[in-house]
Amino acid sequence: MAGAETNWAGTHTYRARIERVHSVEHLQEVVAAASRVRALGSRHSFTDLTDITDTDDGVLVSLADLPAAVEVDPATCTARVSGWAAYGHVGARLQEQGWALGNLASLPHISVAGAVATATHGSGVRNGSLATAVAALEVVGADGELRTVRRGDADFHGSVVSLGALGVVTSVTLDVEPTYDVRQAVYTGLTWDAVAHDLDGVLSSAHSVSLFTRWADRVEQLWVKSRDGRVPDELCGAGQATTTVHMLEGGDVEAVTPQRGVPGPWLDRLPHFRMGFTPSRGEELQSEYLLPRRHALEAVERLRRLGDRLAPLLQVSELRTVAADEHWLSSAYGEDVVGAHFTWVRDPERVYAVLPALEEALLPLGARPHWGKCFVATRDRLERLYPRMGDFRALRDRVDPDRVFDNAFLQRVIG
């Protein structure tokens, strides 16, 4: 319908009233008066994660009109940033002041609060998800009160990756460090034999490593982001590309971050995509499953056996790593993981038809689906994958007993 509000990919239409708040105080008033509330961020979720569909009096709050802030505290090496701000804008403000984040996701367009709430991540065997950089959150709860949860508090590890179930995050305090440069290089022609011979060596060869494949006879591209300046001409038998490449066939190379080993600031190399351009193609669905690294080779074999079935729907797939953390609903809770990411064509019916087979292959290996992307597993299967799920439900019962921040998505996956 004309003027309908949708998510970033245009695959989900929001049905509830959207209230654009103009101050934190205004937000508090809206939340306190509403029977059901969800917060809208950068809308990069591919499901109904942020929507309300089962009530006539719910409200979606947008914080996009609030002024963005990035306040660095050099004494604590932290920065307090607006929760609704995009990482790209936060990064630019930090860089101006001589500071940096330790890691970024593949696209800088996503909001800080939404990314940490879903355990969104970049890559690197020693790099945790974006949630691991969080030192504190300021949250408007169901009663409209503004509260702060800090690292070390009893509720902290249940409150950061919260899927929006505990309140509306207004600011996030992030760990920062002095700015640094990164070199990015892309290698082509990596064989599956080389991967099988030394997968850990491939994944740990730089600060951040991503393998792009379509699950056929090879890994099409190996993206390496180095903080120590080393970008060899050859890596694991694959040669460095001499021209800039895009991971999607026919993709606009102007949209990807600089390659060919040219050094540049962290915010211009750690993401795959540049802030001023549409990431990927903008017409897609995405899924991702994160499983223990010890099962990575078995997962690769199972996915290769599914290759013919995935191929008609797949634009590209990416393998990357995330270090273990302690956040209860994190896909890396308690164990180092490897993520198998899928960029699909924008055809929901056909994509959702293949997801059960994908989950039958990966969930028995301990794979947890990314909360903001397409999956079909529900509470009965997810319960076994998240040992602290019961603790999270108890925390939600305590801070939101009336389920003000509930929705159909949470009912399916949390209960």
DSSP 86-134: BHHHHHHHHHHTTEE-S---S-TTSBHHHHHHTT-----TT---GGGGE
74 by DSSP, 3-state: which? coil
User: What pLDDT is recorded for position 286?
Assistant: 96
Q: What is the pLDDT of residue 205?
A: 93
What CATH code would you report for 70-179? 3.30.465.10
3-state secondary structure of 186: strand
Residue 281, pLDDT score = 77
| Cα gap 359→286, rounded to integer Å | 14
DSSP-assigned states of every residue in 213-268: E-SSSEEEEEEEEESSS---SEETTEEEPSS---SSTT--GGGBPP-TT-EEEGGG
Give the residue from 199, 194, 387 showing the smallest Cα distance to 295: 199
Q: Are 9 and 348 in contact (CB under 8 A)?
A: no
The Cα 206–Cα 358 span in angstroms is: 29
- Contact, 263 vs 245, CB < 8 A? no
Are β-strands 368-369 and 285-292 bridged in parallel, bridged antiparallel, or unpaired? antiparallel
How much is the pLDDT for 54? 63
**Residues in the chain, pLDDT under 70:** 1-3, 54-56
Distances, alpha carbon 245 to alpha carbons 106, 273, 372, in Å: 15, 12, 27
| Element at 298 (helix H, strand E) | helix 296-305
Chain centroid to Cα 16, Å, comes to 25
CB 367 within 8 A of CB 290: yes
Report the distance separating Cα 221 and Cα 224, nearest Å.
Answer: 10
Burial class of residue 27 (count of CB atoms within 10 Å of its CB; 0-12, 13-18, 19+): buried
Strand partners, 173: 80, 136
User: Which of 401, 415, 413, 408 is closest to 142 using CA atoms?
Assistant: 401
**334 SS3 class:** coil
What is the spatial distance between Cα 312 and Cα 345, in angstroms, rounded to a whole number?
Answer: 9
Say if CB 370 and CB 285 are below 8 A apart.
no
State the pLDDT at residue 56: 66
Q: What is the tens place of the pLDDT at every residue in 222-278?
A: 999 999 988 899 998 999 999 999 999 999 999 999 999 999 999 999 999 999 888
For residue 342, the SS3 value is strand
Which pLDDT does position 336 carry in this prediction? 98
Q: What value, to the nearest 5°, has the Cα angle with vertex 345 and ends 341 and 350?
A: 95
Q: 5: which residues sit within 8 A by CB, 6+ positions away?
A: 13, 14, 18
Residue 303, classed as helix, strand or coil, is helix
Q: How far is CA 364 from the centre of its chain?
A: 22
Q: Kindly list the domain boundaries of the chain, sorted by start residue.
A: 70-179, 181-268+277-377
| Interatomic CA distance for residues 375 and 356, integer angstroms | 8
Whether domain 181-268+277-377 has CATH 3.40.50.2300: no
Three-state DSSP at 356 gives: helix
User: Same fold for the domain at 70-179 and the one at 181-268+277-377?
Assistant: no
Reported pTM: 0.95
